[in-house]
Amino acid sequence: MNTNQSPFKYILEGPTGATTNIQNKEMLYFAGVGYFQLHNHPDIIKASIDALQKYGISSATSRSGIGTTDLLLELDTKIAEFFDTDDAVYLPSGYLSNIAGIQALKAMGRFDIIFMDEVVHYCNEEAALTAGVPIFTFKSRDSKDLEHQIKTHLKASEKPLIVSDGMFPVWAWMAPIPEYLAIAEKYNGVIWVDDAHPVGIIGTNGRGTYDYFKLKSDRLFMGATLSKAFGAYGGFIPGSEEFIYHVKHGHVIDGSSSPVSAAAGAALKGLQLVGENPQWREQIRKNAVRLKDGLRAIGLEIEHNDFPITSFKVGGAEQMQKIHAELFKRNIYIQYTKYIGAGPEGVLRTVMFSTHTNEQIDHLLDNLKTII
């Protein structure tokens, strides 16, 4: 093992956007998850600076100590309003939202055993371990196998927790939550969804997976992040008054430092901007369809959806790495990744922003035609 080799191969030299400076080269950029490219929006930068000047970096204690400012309370309220729930809570990171949410459900006695999609994001695996209950996996997005596992392992007196990503980050596959909900109702269970990618970009109101499927139930729970579509940073959990009470009184809130004020200020503005500009969601869908149609025209197998993430395979790992490197030489950056769900050979992965132009998308397609 070469411990001197850095895992950070590509270094950004400025903010991300449709064009991004990577290692002193201006690149057409089709990566990351800044779907509306708000991370450098002037209104968000100003809101972040204003919060920093008023509150300093942070309160240097946990939210349950003396670390909750009026800024954080306002953000809790605005998150609840955006997601149309009784209450919400803002957390230092999206990664922590899964731990906090699952621990709160355990404290409420809502489950005794966990059934988890086999390719969930590892933050959910780690969150499940903190519950101290048996954990069983089921085939990804397979409701029949989920029910089989429940029938096999659930005792008569037990209640199940079903854990899944809402949208899986490599292929942008949606979990079949309506089918899971029917199973949860049948076995008196609940569902936890890590909704990091869908929030802000899908659903009638941009509220993510449950909004996309038009579902409401007291068996449905979720957590997510403000670091993607909303142009900020930090995690959050919306929900009922009782559920959020248990989140606020849990170990994550009690034991972690209060979130950074600049991020909270940015998040407030990001929620406002995304709420006021539904046309951004429409534009990102149009861009996604343009790219996917163009990739199919080249002869690639592409999912039939209008989600901004598009992944594809071309040959094996070596060939995909060569395609990635050749695009980089041509000042175009897409990802070659072996992220969760990509498989051992990896995939080539692109992400559309609402700010990509037709010309930029077509330039990527034209170059891929000459390389593949």
Question: Model confidence over 156-210: pLDDT tens digits?
Answer: 999 999 999 999 999 999 999 999 999 999 999 999 999 999 999 999 999 999 9
Mean pLDDT over 332-343 rounds to: 94
**pLDDT classification of 1: cutoffs 50, 70, 90:** low
- In 3D space, the residue among 213, 205, 204 whose CA is nearest the CA of residue 175 turns out to be 213
Give 242-290 pLDDT, tens digit per residue: 999 999 999 999 999 999 999 999 999 999 999 999 999 999 999 999 9
Give 57-89 pLDDT, tens digit per residue: 999 899 998 999 999 999 999 999 999 999 999
- Bridge partners (DSSP) listed for residue 161: 114, 190
Residue 301 has pLDDT above 80, yes or no: yes
- Bridge partners (DSSP) listed for residue 162: 115, 191
**Within 10 Å of residue 357's Cβ, how many Cβ atoms?**
10
Inter-CA distances, 296 with 130, 251, 300, 368, Å: 43, 48, 5, 12
Where do the domains of the chain lie, and which CATH numbers do they carry?
19-36+279-371 (3.90.1150.10), 42-276 (3.40.640.10)
Residue 228 and residue 73: Cα distance in Å, rounded?
21
Place of tokens 């899944």: 164
Residue 4 has pLDDT above 80, yes or no: no
Could you tell me which residues come within 8 angstroms of residue 241 by beta carbon, excluding any fewer than 6 positions away? 86, 87
Give 202-235 pLDDT, tens digit per residue: 999 999 999 999 999 999 999 999 999 999 999 9
Residue 347 and residue 356: Cα distance in Å, rounded?
22
User: What pLDDT is recorded for position 6?
Assistant: 81
Residue type, 197: H
Mean pLDDT across the chain: 96
CA atoms within 13 A on the CB side of 199: 24
**Within 10 Å of residue 30's Cβ, how many Cβ atoms?**
24
- Asked if 371 and 323 touch (Cβ cutoff 8 Å), the reply is yes
**Within 10 Å of residue 116's Cβ, how many Cβ atoms?**
21
Helix, strand, coil proportions of the chain in percent (round to 5)? Answer: 40, 15, 40
User: What pLDDT is recorded for position 5?
Assistant: 77
Place of tokens 């309370």: 73
